[in-house]
C-alpha cells in the first residue's frame, strides 16, 4: 500500500448518537465537538518504506477502533498522515505543518532515530505531544516525547546470551551506519563480553548499501561462531539473500536486532530466513486474546496485506496509550495528557500488558525471543514486564522534568 505525500485518512464509525457538544472552545480554536486530530509522519516510500507501510495500517486500525467505540470525549478522531519518503527535509517540513497548520493534538511519527531527532525539537518548540513507536537504541529523555518500542536492554540483552550459549563465543557484528546501528553495536559488544565472548570485528554500512560480497568475505576469513546484525531497511535485506547465496546459512548462524520488523519472512525465501534468531516486544504468534482480536481485525481490514510486526503493534499500542490517557485526563490538553501517562498508565495490547514508565517515558513490556521457522516466528522464551533499564540509567523525568535530549548511553565494557 502506498499513499501520497499527503493523504487524509478517515475511517471508523460515526460518533455515538446523541453526543452533545460541550460549551467551550478547543485549544485549536475550533468548537469542542470538532474532531480530535492525530498526526502521522511515516516513510511510506524510499529505503524505509516497507516499515512505514506496515505501520500506517495499524495507525488506521487504531483510529478506526477508537471511532467505532464512540470516539474520545464524545468526539471523532481524525487522522492526518504525510508520506515523508525517507527524506529528512520532508520530515521537518511536514512536522511544522502538523503543528502549525493542521494543529493536531498528538503526533505518532518517525521510524529511524535520525527522523525522530529531526522532528522531536519541532514538536517540543510548538508544544505538540509526540509518540515515537519504533524499536530503537534508547536514551531519549524528553517530557514531551513518549517511546513505545523496545530498547537494547529489552531485546539485545536476550539475543546475545542465547547466541553465546547455543552457538559459540566469537561474534562478528554488522550494523547500519547511523546512530541506531552504532549504539546498538556497542550494546551487542557489551552483552557479548558479559557472556564471556569476544568480537572479531564490527562493520558499518550506510542505508543505501546493497552489495555485501566483500563483507561476507571478511566474515568468512574471520571465522566467527555467530553474526550479530543490526542492519536496517529494504536495502540491507540484501545481506541475508547474499549470505544464503554464499552457502553460509548452515555454517555461521545469524541473530538480529532488526530482521523481521518489515516482514522479511514474507518477502524473502524460506531458505534465506530459516533459523535467524531475533528478540522483540511483539510477534504475531503471541498467544493472548488481545492479539487474536488484533490479528483478526487486521486481516479483516487489509486482507493479505495485513503485515504485523513490533513496529505495527507498538504503533497501535502508542495510539491506544494516548487514547487511554485522554480518557483519564478528560481532556486533550497536552499537559493533562502527559500527567495521565505519567500515572504509570497501562493498557492490554496485542503484545500483552504495556505500562508507561513515568521516569523514562518508555514502556515496560514483555520481551520475546524467537526463531524463524517455516515462514513464522517460533517463540522460544518470554521475559515478562521487561523494563527499559538502559534509558533508566540516564533518564529520570520525575526528578528532572525539564530534561530534553537524547543521551548516548555510556556502554560500560
Per DSSP, the residues of 175-236 read EESSHHHHHHHHHHHHHHHHTT-EEEEEEEE-TT----HHHHHHHHHH--SEEEEE--HHHH
Residue 201 φ then ψ, to 5°: -170, 165
**What is the reported pLDDT for 308?**
84
Separation CA 289–CA 352 (nearest Å): 9
pTM for this prediction: 0.87
Indicate the DSSP class of residue 75. B
Contact (Cβ atoms closer than 8 angstroms) between residue 170 and residue 224: yes
Compute the chain's Rg from CA coordinates. Answer: 21
Q: Which of 75, 92, 105 is nearest to 15 (CA)?
A: 75
Residue by residue, pLDDT tens for the chain (413 residues) are 333 333 333 333 332 333 333 333 344 445 568 999 999 999 999 988 888 998 999 999 999 999 999 999 999 999 999 999 999 999 999 999 999 999 999 999 999 999 999 999 999 999 999 999 999 999 999 999 999 999 999 999 999 999 999 999 999 999 999 889 999 999 999 999 999 999 999 999 998 999 999 999 999 999 999 999 999 988 899 999 999 999 999 899 999 999 988 778 888 999 999 999 999 999 999 999 999 999 999 999 998 777 789 999 999 999 999 999 999 999 999 999 999 999 999 999 999 999 999 999 999 999 999 999 998 999 999 999 999 999 999 999 999 999 999 998 676 65
Question: 405 near 361, Cβ under 8 Å?
Answer: no
> Which grid coordinates belong to 254?
545469524
Distance CA 283, CA 407 (A): 29
Is the separation of the CB atoms in 117 and 140 below 8 Å?
no
Quick check: 23 and 37 in contact, CB under 8 A? no
User: In terms of Cα–Cα distance, which of 265, 243, 112, 110 is closest to 177?
Assistant: 112
pLDDT for 265 = 87
Q: What is the pLDDT of residue 22?
A: 33
Strand partners, 352: 349
CA distances from 175 to 184, 206, 257 (A): 8, 9, 10
Residue in the block written with cell 509522519: 41
Cell representation of residue 175: 550494523
| C-beta separation of 311 from 55 below 8 A | yes
- Angle value at C-alpha 249, between 243 and 252, nearest 5 degrees: 100
- Return phi, psi of residue 115, to 5°: -65, -40
Dihedral angle over CA of 105, 111, 115, 117, nearest 10:
70
Contact 20, 31 (CB under 8 A): no
Q: Determine the pLDDT at residue 303.
A: 87
Q: What would the grid cell of residue 408 be?
A: 548516548
**Quick one: pLDDT at residue 28?**
46
Number of H helices, E strands in the chain: 13, 17
Amino acid at each position: 500500500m502506498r499513499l501520497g505525500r499527503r493523504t487524509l485518512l478517515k475511517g471508523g464509525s460515526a460518533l455515538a448518537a446523541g453526543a452533545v457538544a460541550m460549551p467551550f472552545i478547543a485549544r485549536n480554536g475550533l468548537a469542542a465537538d470538532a474532531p480530535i486530530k492525530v498526526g502521522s509522519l511515516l516513510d511510506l516510500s524510499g529505503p524505509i518504506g516497507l516499515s512505514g507501510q506496515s505501520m500506517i495500517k495499524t495507525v488506521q486500525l487504531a483510529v478506526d477502533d477508537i471511532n467505532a467505540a464512540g470516539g474520545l470525549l464524545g468526539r471523532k478522531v481524525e487522522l492526518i498522515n504525510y508520506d515523508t519518503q525517507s527524506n529528512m527535509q520532508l520530515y521537518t517540513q511536514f512536522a511544522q505543518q502538523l503543528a502549525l497548520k493542521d494543529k493536531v493534538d498528538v503526533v505518532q511519527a518517525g521510524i529511524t532515530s535520525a527522523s525522530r531527532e529531526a522532528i522531536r525539537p519541532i514538536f517540543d518548540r510548538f508544544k505538540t505531544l509526540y509518540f515515537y513507536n519504533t524499536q530503537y537504541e534508547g536514551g531519549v529523555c524528553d517530557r514531551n516525547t513518549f517511546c513505545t518500542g523496545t530498547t537494547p536492554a529489552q531485546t539485545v540483552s536476550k539475543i546475545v546470551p542465547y547466541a553465546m550459549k547455543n552457538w559459540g563465543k566469537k561474534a562478528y557484528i554488522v550494523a547500519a551506519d547511523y546512530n541506531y546501528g552504532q549504539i546498538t553495536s556497542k550494546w551487542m559488544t557489551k552483552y557479548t563480553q558479559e557472556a564471556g565472548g569476544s568480537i572479531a570485528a564490527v562493520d558499518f554500512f550506510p542505508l543505501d548499501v546493497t552489495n555485501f560480497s566483500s563483507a561476507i568475505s571478511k566474515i568468512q576469513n574471520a571465522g566467527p561462531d555467530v553474526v550479530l546484525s543490526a542492519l536496517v531497511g529494504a536495502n540491507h535485506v540484501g545481506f541475508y539473500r547474499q549470505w544464503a547465496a554464499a552457502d553460509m546459512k548452515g555454517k555461521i548462524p545469524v541473530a538480529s536486532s532488526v530482521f523481521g520488523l518489515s516482514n522479511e519472512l514474507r518477502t524473502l525465501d524460506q531458505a534465506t530466513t530459516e533459523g535467524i534468531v531475533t528478540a522483540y516486544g511483539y510477534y504475531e504468534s503471541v498467544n493472548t486474546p488481545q492479539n487474536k482480536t488484533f490479528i483478526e481485525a487486521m486481516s479483516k481490514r487489509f486482507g493479505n496485506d495485513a503485515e504485523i510486526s513490533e513496529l505495527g503493534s507498538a504503533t497501535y499500542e502508542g495510539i491506544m496509550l494516548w487514547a487511554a490517557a485522554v480518557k483519564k485526563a478528560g481532556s486533550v490538553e497536552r499537559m493533562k495528557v502527559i500527567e495521565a501517562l505519567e500515572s504509570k498508565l497501562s493498557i492490554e495490547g496485542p503484545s500483552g500488558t504495556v505500562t508507561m514508565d513515568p521516569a523514562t517515558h518508555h514502556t515496560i513490556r514483555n520481551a520475546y525471543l524467537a526463531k524463524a521457522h517455516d515462514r513464522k516466528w517460533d517463540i522460544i522464551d518470554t521475559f515478562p514486564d521487561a523494563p527499559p533499564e538502559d534509558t533508566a540509567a540516564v533518564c529520570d523525568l520525575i526528578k528532572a522534568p525539564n530534561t530534553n535530549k537524547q543521551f548516548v548511553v555510556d556502554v560500560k565494557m
